[in-house]
C-alpha cells in the first residue's frame, strides 16, 4: 500500500504502525518526530497534483480536517480516498483498528491496545465547562464532537453539548452567562495560553489543555487520559 495522509493524527497512526506504507503527509503532520515523507501542503488546501504524483493506493481525509471539494476532486481523478469522522472515543478506536487492519497491519498495534485500556472506565461527570476553540470571534465546542466525548470521559460535561450546532459562535457575554464551573482552553486550533484566554473569564478556573491530546485520534489516545486529567486538575485563575 502507498498511503498519503491529509490528517495529522492518522499520519502518526500509520507512520508508527506501518511506516513503509506512508509516502506523503501534510506540512502540519508533526508526529512522529523526524517523519521523512513527501509533503503535500496544508490539510485545508493540499497540492492535489503533488498528491496524485505520489501514486497513492489510498488518501486519508477527515470531515472536519479537510475540504469535501478535495475529496471529490481526488475521487474524480480515480484516486481512492477514505474519509474518517469519529465523534466518540470508542468510535475512534474502532475506526483506527479497522483502518490499520485494511492497510495490512498483521496485528493490532500496542499503542491502540494501550488506548483501549486507558479509556475503559470513564468517570462520572463532576464539572460543567465551556470549551472555546477559537476567539475573535469566539467559537466553542457544541454537540456531537470527538473532543466533547473525550472531556465527558474525563468527568467534564460540555455546557453546549445540547446545542444544535457542532461549533456555536456565542458572544463572550453569553459564555460568561453560562456560569460554568470551568473553562477549557486547548492550544489548538487556536493557541490559548496562560496570557491569552483566561483573562476573558475572571474568577472562573481555566484549564489549559493539549489540543493534540484532546482532538487527535491516534497514538496520543494512549496517554491522553493521564495527561489531560493532570492538566484539568491545575487550572489557571485570573481575577
Residue-range domains of the chain with CATH: 3-85 (3.40.50.1980), 127-232 (3.40.50.1980)
Tens digits of residue pLDDT in 18-72: 989 999 999 999 999 999 999 999 999 999 999 999 999 999 999 999 999 999 9
Cell numbers given for 225:
487520559
Tell me the average pLDDT of the chain: 95
Q: Are 80 and 99 in contact (CB under 8 A)?
A: no
pLDDT above 90 coverage of the chain, percent = 95
Pairing verdict, β 139-140 and 132-134: antiparallel
Interval 91-140: pLDDT, tens:
999 999 999 999 999 999 999 999 999 999 878 878 999 999 999 999 99
Question: Which H helix or E strand runs over 60?
Answer: strand 58-62
What pLDDT is attached to residue 113? 96
pLDDT tens-place string over residues 75-104: 999 999 999 999 999 999 999 999 999 999
Give whole-number Cα distances, 72 to 103, 148, 179, 194, in Å.
22, 28, 43, 41
Helix H or strand E encompassing 100: helix 89-103
**Mean pLDDT across the stretch 144-163?**
95
Amino acid at each position: 500500500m502507498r498511503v498519503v495522509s491529509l490528517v495529522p493524527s492518522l499520519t502518526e497512526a500509520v507512520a508508527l504502525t506501518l511506516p513503509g506504507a506512508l509516502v506523503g503527509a501534510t506540512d502540519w503532520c508533526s508526529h512522529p518526530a523526524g517523519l521523512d515523507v513527501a509533503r503535500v501542503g496544508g490539510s485545508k488546501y493540499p497540492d492535489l497534483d503533488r498528491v496524485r504524483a505520489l501514486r497513492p493506493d489510498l488518501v486519508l481525509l477527515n470531515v472536519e480536517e479537510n475540504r469535501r471539494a478535495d475529496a471529490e476532486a481526488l475521487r474524480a481523478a480515480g484516486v481512492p480516498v477514505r474519509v474518517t469522522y469519529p465523534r466518540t472515543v470508542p468510535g475512534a478506536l474502532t475506526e483506527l483498528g479497522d483502518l490499520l487492519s485494511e492497510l495490512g497491519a498483521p496485528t493490532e498495534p500496542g499503542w491502540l491496545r494501550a488506548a483501549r485500556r486507558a479509556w475503559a472506565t470513564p468517570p462520572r461527570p463532576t464539572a460543567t465547562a465551556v470549551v472555546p476553540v477559537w476567539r475573535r470571534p469566539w467559537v466553542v465546542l457544541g454537540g456531537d464532537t470527538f473532543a466533547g466525548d473525550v472531556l465527558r470521559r474525563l468527568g467534564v460535561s460540555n455546557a453546549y453539548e445540547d446545542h444544535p450546532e457542532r461549533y456555536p459562535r456565542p458572544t463572550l457575554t453569553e459564555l460568561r452567562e453560562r456560569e460554568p464551573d470551568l473553562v477549557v482552553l486547548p492550544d489548538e486550533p487556536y493557541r490559548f495560553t496562560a496570557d491569552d484566554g483566561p483573562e476573558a473569564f475572571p474568577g472562573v478556573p481555566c484549564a489549559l489543555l493539549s489540543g493534540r491530546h484532546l482532538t487527535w485520534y491516534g497514538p496520543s489516545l494512549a496517554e491522553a487520559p493521564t495527561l489531560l486529567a493532570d492538566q484539568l486538575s491545575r487550572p489557571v485563575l485570573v481575577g
